[in-house]
Structure 1
Amino acid sequence: MAEAVLGFVLCWSGNESMSFFWLLIPAPFAPTSKATPHSIGEAHDLVGWAITVIAAVHAAAALLHHYVLRDEVFKRVLPGKPGGT
């Protein structure tokens, strides 16, 4: 959610309109200084990388449980498998 909000604010801080599917959303506030979009862009990048790292660690943990620990954690989340949902 934060990544999407930062993306909208990043475009709007440069006084750009935002196209969301078929809707054109104009910038709701006046243009800002050049430092503001830069700061918002850095926050947007940071949140994006945080999401990527969390997803990679989560996937690595799932593979660790399946191949190294050989417990039933990975199988429990698979649909249609014994012990799955």
Structure 2
Amino acid sequence: EDALKLPLLDRYCILFNSRIFSLGEEVEFTYKWDNKDSVTYSQDLREFLFDYAVLPTEQEMEEKPNAIPYYPGRKGEDGFTLM
């Protein structure tokens, strides 16, 4: 019940970090295309996470365009608005 009250982005971060902690950073999966060929892919899950304790630099944001975003308008410890 308490988990359902967590903000959505927090739940996503918890799920990704839990997966990384328990099974590792890389996830492998196979996709079968319409032409019947199967291709195995690998994805580094750290690409979807920032260090949410600090505001990311522009370079970090460009390097991780699919990362779970910061909450808009939230202020950090230094008073600056986090993305």
TM-score (norm 1): 0.23
Larger Rg: 1
Q: Which has the higher strand share?
A: 2
